């Protein structure tokens, strides 16, 4: 702690490795607790749920022991405390029982028999209808176009966009009074999670990430927008008229929001913006950019000198744009070539004397200096939504791994007959189910106005899990998994971005999770 009684950031940085491992172990432990609660409270027989939960818990204990053992002294754990926690006979027996090869093999065989179906999600009737509706759309409309969009680096076509608008996809986070789908303004994170998961199963970039930006912008507006701004913008966002994007990250500042320096200078009737933003996803197609800018250049203000603007621009389908705006100035952009996550395209965006009227300062005069807080309000749902995206990509990869294991013969036997394949499938099933139930549980918490810390935990856990699972699905495909014509190669590449955006895993682990754990323990 520093002199003011707060946790010292510089001191914490001296322990980044142990802090990161502590954060991930906490995320894995939280997932295990949720999984056990789910298995205990299931409305079905519960046998498979219990087996999956216990197998996941056994692996979690083994993983955590490995992380802590190498640096036990740095965690302040005495040999006696470590032995009590991880080396008691009961703990060893538990891990041995639920991680033995025969258990994993039997579960792998069951997954093949059930075509990858794990357990019932335990959703209510409304959410199940939502799931089935978007599941059909992902299978029938998105999947047939996903590979073409990825390989040819295309923009998302209207054949995907228009039906999703009609299905109300973009109004999931907007109250009914503003023409959205939220009843009486109540939160429905779980509904958003279910929709995101199914669309991401179809394609992360061509469908699964479409509702992230309207989610962020609508939350920011609801948190700080004036009555006039809410009335004007929220109905438009609900019907994707226009599409929107978020311009937060800058070339020299990623997750360090307080360091942002795109400049906004006050002029008669508004503000003039100069500077650059990067990783502005959907920035070309978008007709409005939620833009964070520095309205007070006073040194030392940090995030308190930031404000949020709604910058309007023409919509463009190409990889580059340059528009002279009617109000004054030029806004231009160029898509960043990426190995995956194609379809929406992420842009470098340049603001050259771009005039923004006072009416487009989020919150009006009262919003000056509050841009950081509106950013946090906007991104509060982004982390849980990213966990849902990870679950959808995992589901798609798991389905492909199951089907290929049945079809592909190696040395005269189906690939799924081999022990190592079955073990892989079993571990994939436990990890994916744990991640899904963890995400649902946090979504329900957030619907009650809680769960901000848990959203960071599940984002960290789900995104790391998706990298491992898609890698294993790709490995099961062998050489075909490395071929661009195989969908699993796209799943693996797309999964890689999940741990980077909406809060890089290192930032989440060190600046959010570990800090919170240590502050609460102090």
Instruction: Kindly give, in sequence order, each residue whose CB lies less than 8 Å from that of residue 74, ignoring residues fewer than 6 positions away.
Output: 15, 18
Question: Taking Cα atoms as reference points, which of 284, 23, 307 lies closest to residue 156?
Answer: 284
| CA dist., res. 405 & res. 399, Å (int) | 10
Taking the CA of residue 3 as centre, how many other CA atoms within 13 Å lie in the half-sphere pointing to its CB? 0
Contacts of 54 (CB under 8 A, 6+ apart): 39, 98
Catalytic member of 250, 454, 502, 505: 502
Q: Which two three-digit tokens encode residue 44?
A: 């079905």
Cα separation, 254 vs 249, in Å, equals 5
Phi then psi dihedrals of residue 268, to 5 deg: -60, 120
Question: How far is residue 369's CA from residue 61's CA, in Å, rounded to a whole number?
Answer: 45
SS (H, E, C) 68-131: HHCCCHHHCCCHHHHHHHHCCHHHHHHHHHHCCHHHHHHHHHHHHHCCCCCCCCCCCHHHHHHH
For 209, the 3-state DSSP assignment is coil
Euclidean distance between CA atoms 193 and 443, whole angstroms: 7
- C-alpha 430/C-alpha 420 separation (Å) is 16
175 forms bridges with which residues in the sheet? 182
DSSP three-state, residue 361: strand
Cα–Cα distance, 382 to 346 (Å, whole number) = 17
Residue 502 annotated among the catalytic residues of the structure? yes
Continuous segment of H or E residues that includes residue 351? strand 346-357
- Which pair of tokens denotes residue 463? 């995104």
Catalytic residue positions, numbered = 502
């Amino acid at each position: 702690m520093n002199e003011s009684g707060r946790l010292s950031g510089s001191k914490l940085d001296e322990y980044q490795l142990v802090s990161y491992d502590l954060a991930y172990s906490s995320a894995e432990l939280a997932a295990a607790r949720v999984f056990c609660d789910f298995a205990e409270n299931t409305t079905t027989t519960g046998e498979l749920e219990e087996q999956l939960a216990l197998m996941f818990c056994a692996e979690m204990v083994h993983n955590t022991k490995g992380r802590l053992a190498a640096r036990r002294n740095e965690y302040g754990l005495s040999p006696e405390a470590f032995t009590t926690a991880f080396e008691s006979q009961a703990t060893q027996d538990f891990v041995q029982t639920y991680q033995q090869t025969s258990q994993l093999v039997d579960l792998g065989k069951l997954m093949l028999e059930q075509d990858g179906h794990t357990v019932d999600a335990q959703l209510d009737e409304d959410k199940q209808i939502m799931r089935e509706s978007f599941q059909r759309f992902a299978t029938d409309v998105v999947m047939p176009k996903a590979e073409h969009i990825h390989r040819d680096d295309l923009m998302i076509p209207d054949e995907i966009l228009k039906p999703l608008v009609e299905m109300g996809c973009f109004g999931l986070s907007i109250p009914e009074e503003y023409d959205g789908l939220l009843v009486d303004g109540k939160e429905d994170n779980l509904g958003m999670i279910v929709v995101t998961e199914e669309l991401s199963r179809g394609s992360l970039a061509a469908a699964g990430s479409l509702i992230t930006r309207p989610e962020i912008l609508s939350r920011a507006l609801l948190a700080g927008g004036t009555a006039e701004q809410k009335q004007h913008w929220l109905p438009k966002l609900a019907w994707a008229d226009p599409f929107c994007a978020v311009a937060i990250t800058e070339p020299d500042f990623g997750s360090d929001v307080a360091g942002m320096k795109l400049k906004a200078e006050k002029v008669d009737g508004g503000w003039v913006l100069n500077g650059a933003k990067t990783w502005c996803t959907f920035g070309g197609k978008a007709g409005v950019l939620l833009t964070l800018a520095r309205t007070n250049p006073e040194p030392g203000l940090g995030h308190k000198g930031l404000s949020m603007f709604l910058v309007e621009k023409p919509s463009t389908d190409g990889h580059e744009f340059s528009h002279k705006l009617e109000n004054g100035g030029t806004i231009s952009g160029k898509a960043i070539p990426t190995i995956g996550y194609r379809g929406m395209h992420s842009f470098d965006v340049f603001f050259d004397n771009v005039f923004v009227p006072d009416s487009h300062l989020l919150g009006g005069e009262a919003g000056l200096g509050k841009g950081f807080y509106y950013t946090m309000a906007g991104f509060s749902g982004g982390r849980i939504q990213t966990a849902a995206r990870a679950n959808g990509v995992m589901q798609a990869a798991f389905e492909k791994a199951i089907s290929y294991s049945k079809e592909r013969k190696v040395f005269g036997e189906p690939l799924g007959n081999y022990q190592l394949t079955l073990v892989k499938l079993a571990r994939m099933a436990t990890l994916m189910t744990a991640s899904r139930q963890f995400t649902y549980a946090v979504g329900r918490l957030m619907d009650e106005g809680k769960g901000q810390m848990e959203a960071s935990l599940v984002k960290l856990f789900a995104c790391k899990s998706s990298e491992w699972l898609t890698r294993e699905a790709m490995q099961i495909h062998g050489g075909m998994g490395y071929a661009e014509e195989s969908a699993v190669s796209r799943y693996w590449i797309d999964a890689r971005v999940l741990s980077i955006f909406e809060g890089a895993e290192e930032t989440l682990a060190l600046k959010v999770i570990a800090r919170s754990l240590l502050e609460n323990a102090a």
